[in-house]
């Protein structure tokens, strides 16, 4: 969990001490990664560093793994707005879903062609990854998937088989 401050852009929220401990716990449940590739948003970067430290591997930062760009008020039922968006609703001022999928595709395809030993661990954000999984791994119920995400959470994704399995 990040340290939530309504006066600060969520992209600038820091990871809480509890969040850092949870990220390290999750890192211990992951297979040894070749590299950890992370969004450059502060909370994701801190999560990635905690996971990478467990395995003594590098972290690479890539802004294309950032959360959905959006004009969203802090007040109100943000969960309902976000769930509707990942389910297909159009919200003015929110990033085009296909653009989100394409930028994550670019990161994934770049990692898969490197031939590294081990697996790439991608650290990003719930809405963005839900959109990508819906498009590339046939996620049947994106709203329900997004609503069930934990902070942090990890999934093994097999693109060839179009399967998604929660880790830990």
- Indicate if the pLDDT at residue 121 is higher than 70: yes
Looking at residue 115, what is its pLDDT? 65
**148-159 per-position pLDDT tens digit:** 999 899 999 988
Tell me: cis bond preceding 152? Omega within 30 of 0 counts: yes
Instruction: Kindly list the structural domains of the chain, giving each domain's residue range(s) and its CATH number in brackets, ordered by start.
Output: 10-166 (3.40.50.1240)
Q: Looking at the DSSP assignment, which residues form a beta bridge with residue 161?
A: none
pLDDT for residue 6: 82
CA distance 105 to 27: 23
Q: What angle do CA 14, 25, 6 make, to 5 degrees?
A: 20
Q: What's the pTM?
A: 0.92
Highest mean pLDDT of the ranges 8-17, 34-43, 93-102, 136-145: 93-102
Instruction: Give the angle 61-66-69 at the CA atoms, nearest 5°.
Output: 150
């Amino acid at each position: 969990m990040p340290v939530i401050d309504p006066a600060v852009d969520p992209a600038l929220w820091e990871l809480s001490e509890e969040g850092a401990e949870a990220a390290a716990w999750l890192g211990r449940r992951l297979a040894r990664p070749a590299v950890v590739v992370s969004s450059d948003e502060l909370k994701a970067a801190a999560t990635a560093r905690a996971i990478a430290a467990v395995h003594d591997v590098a972290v690479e930062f890539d802004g294309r793994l950032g959360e959905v760009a959006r004009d969203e008020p802090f007040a109100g039922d943000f969960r309902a707005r976000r769930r509707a968006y990942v389910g297909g609703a159009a919200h003015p001022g929110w990033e085009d879903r296909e653009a989100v999928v394409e930028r994550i595709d670019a990161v994934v395809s770049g990692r898969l062609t490197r031939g590294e030993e081990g697996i790439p661990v991608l650290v990003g954000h719930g809405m963005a990854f839900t959109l990508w999984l819906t498009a590339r791994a046939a996620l049947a119920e994106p709203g329900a998937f997004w609503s069930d995400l934990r902070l942090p959470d990890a999934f093994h994704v097999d693109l060839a088989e179009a399967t998604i399995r929660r880790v830990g």
